[in-house]
Amino acid sequence: MQTIFVMVKCELGQSYKVAGEAVEIHQVSEVHSISGQWDLLIKCFLEDGDDIGHFVTETVQLVPGVKDTFTMLTFRAFTSTLRSAE
């Protein structure tokens, strides 16, 4: 599995519509509204061998209201081995 994060800049007033459509994409795990020059942060899981460029340009960038994207590839996820009991 490949994990990527796609930061999305939306057309004015379209962030919630874009987020609503993005969460329906099969490879999308999470969509976060964020502050700063980007509007959304999308976490995606792609199968090994899937073409990231095609996924971003033919799926994410074609969501109505998406103005621009910035894609980050990940290498490894780190988690704490110490979990507090709730």
pTM (2 d.p.):
0.87
Domain contains 45: yes
Domain contains 38: yes
DSSP-derived secondary structure for 30-72: EEEE--SS-SEEEEEEE-TT--HHHHIIIIITTSTTEEEEEEE
Domain contains 81: no
Q: Are 4 and 73 in contact (CB under 8 A)?
A: yes
In which domain, by residue range, is 32 found? 2-73
Distances in whole angstroms, Cα of residue 62 to Cα of each of 48, 67, 84: 22, 9, 42
Residue 83 confidence class, pLDDT cut points 50, 70, 90: low
- Whichever domain contains 39, its CATH number is 3.30.70.920
The tens digit of pLDDT for each residue in 33-57 reads 999 999 999 999 999 999 999 999 9
Tokens encoding 78? 């780190």
Domain contains 85: no
Mean pLDDT of the chain: 94
Domain contains 82: no
The total number of structural domains in the chain stands at: 1
Q: Give the Cα separation of 59 and 22 in Å (integer).
A: 9
